Amino acid sequence: MAPEIFDLERLRLRRPKMTDAEALLAIGSDPEVARFASWPLSTSMEGMLGRLRQRATDWESGAEYYWVITLAHDDRAIGAIASFVDKDAAEFGYLLDRHYWGNGYATEAARAIVAWAFSMPAIRRVWATCDTENVASVRVLEKAGLAYESTLRQAIVRPNISNEPRDAFLYSRVR
């Protein structure tokens, strides 16, 4: 089972609460934040509340672990990070309020998830993808200890850019 809270140097990762909906909606409805996402812009509070309820169900079933990213001294959500664990591999993805970009917060959160994943003896591989134009995410993944593995051609639809599948970089770290 995943830890419900990670207390990091500058951040706290914790399970989301329904009261996070407003902040998460603001982040997920920002076109700059959602530009390279594989999901469309968040547009309704009702939809966000439904996603938070689903995340709680997914957590309990082990299908997905999802943490809200907050500053260590402030409980307001500034982003989120999720991990899907499947047998011997763990995938992760994240988003961060653009007002907090450039501070190393995404890297700090990603490093925590990579370390947690590798703390499980069965995990042999941790991986993530990002759009080939998302230079900032490339840097985050590299700083989190992942290495470029391949380019996935026409692999992921980024609905906030195009309805056509786009190329993605695959980054990973193996034991």
Q: Is residue 174 part of a domain?
A: no
Q: What is the pLDDT of residue 126?
A: 98
What domain range includes position 66? 5-123
Residues with Cβ within 8 Å of residue 55, at least 6 apart in sequence: 16, 64, 66
- Please state the pTM of the whole predicted model: 0.95
Q: Is residue 41 part of a domain?
A: yes
Q: State how beta strands 125-131 and 89-96 pair.
A: parallel
Parts of the chain with a pLDDT under 70: none
Q: Are 158 and 130 in contact (CB under 8 A)?
A: no
Q: Is residue 22 part of a domain?
A: yes
d(CA 70, CA 130): 23
Q: What is the pLDDT of residue 1?
A: 80
Q: Is residue 129 part of a domain?
A: no
Sign of the C-alpha dihedral computed for residues 61, 92, 111 and 78 taken in this order:
negative
Q: Is residue 16 part of a domain?
A: yes
* Token output for 75: 């409980």
Total tally of structural domains belonging to the chain: 1
Residues with Cβ within 8 Å of residue 112, at least 6 apart in sequence: 6, 8, 11, 13
